């Protein structure tokens, strides 16, 4: 099967500090649903918290590894720099007012290629943008969100990657992933799939430093594969392009392969199925600590070392 185009971003994973502060910000301020609370399958003493739309549809998911005692990460080249959420075209005013009301320091809204961009940071210093424009991902509003559905974040708009040398990264995304350059301001080159469904901006990092993984940084960006066979095809294309790619890894809610693009950013290709309703009904998503089968026998020990999220139990 030919890999074709990826339909877009599947999820983005970042590092947070305190998990309760993280949950409060993304649910109470940004109005996202906590769709899954589980552990980092490579480090089960750490939570893995997933936020998204009502069902955690691919393309709406931002997830976090909360490391309460870790230092801030250093931002640098070969790293995703900022994550953009798509909001409806006429909702920028609502969001400027909402962020101010919650004491979130946001930059002045600015125009970027016919979209209105509101830059801000989450409580850990993660760089985020709300982008009001015509291209909105398909998503379902969460009925208990504090944000009215007509203003709600619709999903991920794109990411900006900070690169020391844009050339090899641009070549990778255009030749292997099928994106095309659609705009260039000199400091920001925009690559996109047809119909603007996947947007990746490349920023030249100038004299930036080597990054460190830590609180407030993006860990990796996952692109969608609509099925297992398409993921296998993607893996073949990536190997044929000379990249080192992991075997397929079962992440319970999707299957994953990981690789680094030529500039060093960690990328993943994740399958759409089976999704977050695998082990919880839609109504219950995110309300229980869910563990994959291999960790279920150790549940008591895992629960004993994880920070208590009790304040966040649904009421």
d(CA 207, CA 198): 28
Which tokens sit at 249? 């890894």
Residue 47 CB, nearest approach to Zn ion (Å): 14
Applying the rule CB under 5 A, the residues between 215 and 234 that interact with Zn ion are 222
**Least Å distance between CB 189 and Zn ion?**
25
- Choose the binding region for Zn ion from 7-15, 103-111, 173-181, 241-249 (rule: CB under 5 A): 7-15
188 exposed, middle or buried (CB, 10 Å; 0-12, 13-18, 19+)? middle
Residue whose CB is nearest to Zn ion in the complex, by number: 222
What is the smallest separation between the CB atom of 101 and Zn ion, expressed in angstroms? 32
Dist. CA 159–CA 84, nearest whole Å: 6
Which of these segments, 5-13, 130-138, 150-158, 196-204, binds Zn ion (CB under 5 A)?
5-13
Distance set, CA 117 to CA 108, 129, 141, 153, 236 (Å) = 8, 6, 21, 13, 37
Cβ-based nearer residue to Zn ion, 83 or 87 = 83
Consecutive H or E run containing 2: none
| Between 57 and 98, CB nearer to Zn ion | 57
Residue 159 β-bridge partners? 83, 200
When the beta carbons of 176 and 222 are compared against Zn ion, the nearer one is 222
CB of residue 232 to Zn ion, shortest distance in Å: 18
Shortest Å distance, C-beta 226 to Zn ion: 16
CA atoms of 46 and 96, how far apart (whole Å): 33
Query: Three-state SS for 292?
Result: coil
Residue 18 near residue 68 (C-beta atoms within 8 A) = yes
Helices (H), 159-309: 166-175, 228-240, 299-305
- Which residue in 6, 13, 46, 91 binds Zn ion (CB under 5 A)? 13
Q: How far apart are CA 231 and CA 254, in angstroms?
A: 11
Task: For Zn ion, give the closer residue by CB, 185 or 246.
Answer: 246
Radius of gyration of the chain measured on its C-alpha atoms: 19
CA distances from 178 to 171, 191, 199, 228, 297 (A): 10, 10, 12, 19, 44
* Closer to Zn ion by Cβ: residue 10 or 98: 10
**Residue with token string 């974040």:** 153
Closest separation between CB of residue 19 and Zn ion, Å? 18
Our CB check for Zn ion shows the closer of 154 and 224 to be 224
Minimum CB separation of residue 252 from Zn ion in Å reads 12
> Which x/- pattern, by CB under 5 A, does the window 255-294 give for Zn ion?
-------------x--------------------------
- Token pair 């890894």 is found at 249
User: Of the two residues 152 and 156, which places its CB atom closer to Zn ion in the complex?
Assistant: 156
Please tell me the count of residues contacting Zn ion according to CB under 5 A.
3
Helix H or strand E encompassing 199: strand 199-204
Residue whose CB is less far from Zn ion, 13 or 27: 13
Which span (6-14, 46-54, 145-153, 165-173) binds Zn ion, by CB under 5 A? 6-14
Smallest separation, CB 270 to Zn ion (Å): 6
Interacting residues with Zn ion (CB under 5 A): 13, 222, 268
């Amino acid at each position: 099967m030919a890999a074709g185009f990826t339909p877009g971003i599947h999820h983005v994973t970042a590092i947070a500090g305190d998990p309760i502060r993280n949950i409060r910000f993304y649910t109470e301020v940004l109005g996202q649903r906590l769709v899954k609370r589980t552990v980092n399958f490579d480090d089960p003493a750490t939570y893995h918290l997933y936020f998204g739309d009502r069902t955690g549809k691919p393309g709406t998911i931002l997830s976090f590894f909360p490391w309460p005692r870790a230092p801030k990460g250093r931002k640098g080249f070969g790293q995703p720099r900022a994550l953009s959420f798509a909001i409806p075209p006429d909702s920028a005013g609502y969001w400027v007012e909402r962020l101010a009301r919650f004491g979130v320091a946001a930059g002045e809204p600015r125009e970027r290629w016919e979209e209105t961009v509101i830059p801000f940071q989450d409580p850990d210093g993660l760089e985020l943008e709300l982008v009001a424009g015509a291209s909105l991902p398909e998503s379902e509003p969460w009925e208990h969100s504090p944000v009215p559905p007509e203003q709600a974040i619709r999903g991920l708009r794109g990411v900006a990657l900070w690169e020391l040398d844009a050339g090899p990264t641009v070549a990778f995304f255009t030749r292997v992933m099928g994106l095309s350059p659609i705009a260039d301001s000199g400091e920001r080159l925009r690559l996109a799939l047809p119909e603007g469904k996947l947007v990746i901006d490349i920023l030249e990092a100038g004299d930036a430093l080597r990054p460190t993984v830590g609180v407030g940084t993006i860990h990796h960006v996952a692109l969608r594969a609509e099925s297992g066979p398409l993921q296998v095809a993607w893996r073949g294309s990536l190997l044929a392009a000379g990249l080192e790619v992991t075997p397929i890894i079962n992440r319970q809610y999707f299957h994953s392969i990981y690789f680094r693009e030529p500039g060093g950013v960690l990328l993943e290709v994740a399958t759409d199925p089976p999704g977050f309703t695998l082990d919880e009904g839609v109504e219950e998503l995110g309300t229980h600590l869910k563990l994959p089968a291999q960790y279920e026998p150790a549940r008591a020990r895992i629960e004993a070392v994880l920070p208590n999220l009790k304040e966040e139990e649904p009421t």
